[in-house]
Structure 1
């Protein structure tokens, strides 16, 4: 669009100003492409217009960009026009919350902050409502969502800390904690992928990620979608609930969804370390007449509360905690806990302070002496924010458990603990939770004993199969079902399975209620396999079959390997050659050859090479958008049932891709 047309469209600018804006745009468009990306525009406009990051960000949201989200000259002039006649949304963000902010990096170094790091802050994409709540989203109340400002700030700090120095994104850090820049930087998937690997190492093979470099100069929407496919599917694979978020939501920077995903990833990393294999001294928390198996059924949050109360009891303190909100918000229990963990440096003097905010600051000063001042601020402590308090306590446990080492006799008890079926149980737990069963499955064998979860799963996988008037529901008061009612449910679950041609010879409901592991795994496996087969219904119809069999899956996989020009093949899902991961990579290559770089594929002659191939195969499958529940060890150990789920998911993905 030439200068004359621009001036007609934006009469508030004289011809000289239009020339200046055009020159400014050309200076940003260094490659002379005729457009620039949003991030470049925001950063440059911050300086030229002397506006905070989030004000410019909001103004750009008000510009009607096309689906590519590229900013052309006309869009840039429109942006400047909107900034110079600001909307109410921009004005409210320029004012920002009245409470104090964390210092930016520039301030810490004694420099004046840039406009985007203004100490008074802005609330990017939303309006502060006081009390740390921010509205984000659309212009109408129905399209708006609320996020917690304390959580945004603390999770941003966490990302800055754990990803500092990263080879791919370290140059972008630290993100300001008082703007929404972190959310914008999540859109290409790299920050979230790195965060997943920090929380659960080795989840993603980072060689598969699309990154700017020699091969790709700038990531486009397709590259970002592939990265975010990996993020979404990997998050599922580590146990995050991602029912309501997709790749497009991340690319479109839906802040409330991204913040929720970030919390789940951080939470998974913190609580995943509360494991008796990592901390055998957790044995100390067993109560009288409680078995190790009973203890390990507890959710990680309950184990944390048990740990907290263990120390309060040893400190002869009169209070206990049953939550991470109201029971900790006055700071008293934290004071006693920290004193019990390190009495020589953490005193109980905060108990003498009446002002709750001052006491909270003193509590966090004590935590700082243990290098554990993380996730909480005085305000979020006093507010009783359950997420941030949980994160604070989990980090404290992971750093200073304060439990006596176990004896050799106790160590033998832990080593003898029966872990039969734990690998399959982990995958089946993730799958059941992906169906959104309620309550969430935590302890697989225990949570299935009363049949209510199984019946919900049947109803999701085979709609209409459950007549709910025949089912016994859990009491509203939270108590367990009486045994005879639980057995009625599990008998009903077995009956439904038989009606749907499951092989359940010798299985009775009482076996499920009694926690018989092999039989429980067998039933759930057949239900999961039914779910896989259901997704392949159209393919079965084309093949003239009622449903896809294991033999059909093997034939499909062999055919896909051959299609990619490879000679590898298997006879069954128990074939030992599956263990080196190469066949699965050949199948993926047949689906889309550009996804498998054979320079990355090892020979698979030793355990390390086989593991690397398996991890690579899982990440490539997720890049295609496949939902993969297993982990590399499952492939290396040729766990046939779990490999069936891998191939079944690839078949479903191939159907969507039209392969």
Structure 2
């Protein structure tokens, strides 16, 4: 290393500085590989006092590190030099590309994007509270517990999420058993994952998040590798939100039946999104307290703390007094409200400043946590219990997959209860237009009123008849299906129509990716799967997508093995004799498929119960990624 040459290149560093910096680097590169990992570099330099964790991290983005992401000695010296220059440069000329704006709930951090001139804003309190949530749920985890706690006051959370392991564990906390962690790539012997293995983990995270119903838009594996803060924070929120709202379910809480309004049917109630049920629950307690206000949102309606004060008092009058109502200063009142919540062991997600600012995400998280821990509703007597179909009831599993698929098309409003939400035909017509552009004329659609009210049965029939006609015009098999069947909520016929739209979507996707542009039949797709099994040197076979032997998951694992040799560790595959083994095989197949980049909607039980339509979607998704 030519010290004189380096000093000319970085005049801000003296020769003594350079010797010290080189020694620092060598202390990191103990194996003399010529490089150090980014994370280790950031921690080493921030510990040395050259800059804060966030400043070092952001300044490193301006150093020309190669695509491997490893920091070589020249890069290390350049990083220290840039940090020194930033300390002496006027504020307007500093190149750290990180700015702090505002305080409290208005505190935000503006970070530079990957393209010149682009910036993104991170809400500091959201980052901090979501980090605390991750610390609380992953503490003691066998695989990543040694990385916990993550500092809540720095950007380290984004670096920790980079390899996909923290996010995978977070998904499994929100929706248990979603990811088979045996498929994840873990660092070995202290060596960080490379970009390829990170991208595989990222595929699992992104596709699993979509499969549990998270809205994941414009997030790709390379965004993990680059540690794009705004995208990772958005994904973290979606996963946390899913876990919180998943529990707001009348099957888990039959006492939610008490929230039905006069003349409201159970079917109408079940159509409500979980956020609306939370607001209904909040207002139920406000009404019970004879309080004259109601909440319609998680922002301005809760910002003064009054409604929270009354809610907490209703949940536990002994512990939570109404004293905050006498306090004039809003921040002081907010602290008193959260002190009351702490008495219930429910002070989480929300800070006084975020409460007063009406931060909708943190308020939603706070209220959801409050409901999950202190619903405050009288138990429903056996005679009162509403009749609700079990999730395993005929059609419910397909309904779950079709709901996720329709929402992935960005239909509006999002589907919550498939059979109820499809009754007026508007969602079906949107789906037709998304899958078969130009197939639907907007002027022939009776749209829902902006007020959110239902359209009349007559208009709903016009829509559903139009949907059936559109299907027939595109050669769907719809014998015996009429618009009235959809309006009346006939489950079998509704599922049949949605399935044919989804199936056409898969066929058109495969057609667009194939070399000859030919539409594939079911037998073509099945033949492809069998060929992949043979290519991988396996002998399992099936007669159709409804073959009972599919239940043990081995055939699908053999397809994956032929598609990507080496991805299936057969030491993990069982013969599938027991129910537990069949489930493990199915879960393994789903996680491997997602690792390869396939968007898989089904769950292990769908494979174990050989739901042929859903098996078809699984194989179709595998066929699609072969061409990518």
Counting only pairs closer than 5 Å after superposition, residues 454-465 of structure 1 correspond to structure 2 as 454-465=428-439
**1:165 CA drift (Å):** 1.1
Whole-angstrom distance in 2 between the partners of 1:376 and 1:435? 33
- Which residue matches 2:152? 177
| Equivalent position SS for 1:136 | strand
| Equivalent position SS for 1:44 | helix
- Which residue matches 2:274? 300
**1:151 CA drift (Å):** 0.8
| Equivalent position SS for 1:411 | coil
Whole-angstrom distance in 2 between the partners of 1:20 and 1:307? 62
Instruction: Go from structure 1 to structure 2 and tell me whether the alpha carbon gap of 1:22 and 1:141 turns closer, same or farther (over 3 Å shift).
Output: closer
Whole-angstrom distance in 1 between the partners of 2:87 and 2:535? 57
Does residue 605 of structure 2 align to residue 633 of structure 1? yes
Whole-angstrom distance in 2 between the partners of 1:493 and 1:128? 51
Does residue 476 of structure 2 align to residue 496 of structure 1? no
Instruction: Go from structure 1 to structure 2 and tell me whether the alpha carbon gap of 1:92 and 1:366 turns closer, same or farther (over 3 Å shift).
Output: farther
Does residue 582 of structure 2 align to residue 610 of structure 1? yes
Whole-angstrom distance in 2 between the partners of 1:157 and 1:369? 19
- Which residue matches 1:512? 486
- Which residue matches 1:226? 200
TM-score (norm 1): 0.91
User: Which segment is superposed worse, 366-375 or 533-542?
Assistant: 533-542
Counting only pairs closer than 5 Å after superposition, residues 482-561 of structure 1 correspond to structure 2 as 482-538=456-512, 542=516, 546-561=518-533
Instruction: Go from structure 1 to structure 2 and tell me whether the alpha carbon gap of 1:579 and 1:334 turns closer, same or farther (over 3 Å shift).
Output: same
Whole-angstrom distance in 2 between the partners of 1:446 and 1:93? 58
Deviations 1:399-454 (A, max 9, x none): 11111111111236346899542211111111111111222112212222222222
| 2:441 aligned residue (462, 467, 478) | 467
TM-score (norm 2): 0.95
Whole-angstrom distance in 2 between the partners of 1:353 and 1:627? 52
Instruction: Go from structure 1 to structure 2 and tell me whether the alpha carbon gap of 1:499 and 1:646 turns closer, same or farther (over 3 Å shift).
Output: same
Asked whether the 8 Å contact 2:267–2:420 carries over to 1, the reply is no
- Which residue matches 1:205? 180
Whole-angstrom distance in 1 between the partners of 2:494 and 2:276? 25
Whole-angstrom distance in 1 between the partners of 2:556 and 2:336? 56
Asked whether the 8 Å contact 2:207–2:599 carries over to 1, the reply is yes
Does residue 411 of structure 2 align to residue 411 of structure 1? no
| Equivalent position SS for 2:86 | coil
Asked whether the 8 Å contact 1:124–1:180 carries over to 2, the reply is no
- Which residue matches 1:321? 295
Matched residue count:
625
Counting only pairs closer than 5 Å after superposition, residues 181-200 of structure 1 correspond to structure 2 as 181-200=156-175
Does residue 567 of structure 2 align to residue 595 of structure 1? yes
- Which residue matches 1:128? 101
| Equivalent position SS for 1:217 | coil
**1:139 CA drift (Å):** 8.9
RMSD between superposed Cα atoms in Å: 2.3
Gaps of 5+ in 1: 95-122
| Equivalent position SS for 1:325 | coil
- Which residue matches 1:338? 312
Whole-angstrom distance in 2 between the partners of 1:259 and 1:288? 41
Counting only pairs closer than 5 Å after superposition, residues 237-256 of structure 1 correspond to structure 2 as 237-256=211-230
**1:494 CA drift (Å):** 1.3
Asked whether the 8 Å contact 1:57–1:125 carries over to 2, the reply is no
Asked whether the 8 Å contact 1:197–1:203 carries over to 2, the reply is yes
| Equivalent position SS for 1:408 | coil
Whole-angstrom distance in 2 between the partners of 1:277 and 1:89? 61
Counting only pairs closer than 5 Å after superposition, residues 617-656 of structure 1 correspond to structure 2 as 617-656=589-628
Instruction: Go from structure 1 to structure 2 and tell me whether the alpha carbon gap of 1:38 and 1:124 turns closer, same or farther (over 3 Å shift).
Output: farther
**1:87 CA drift (Å):** 7.0
**1:491 CA drift (Å):** 1.7
Deviations 1:265-323 (A, max 9, x none): 00000000011221122122222332222211111011111111111122222221111
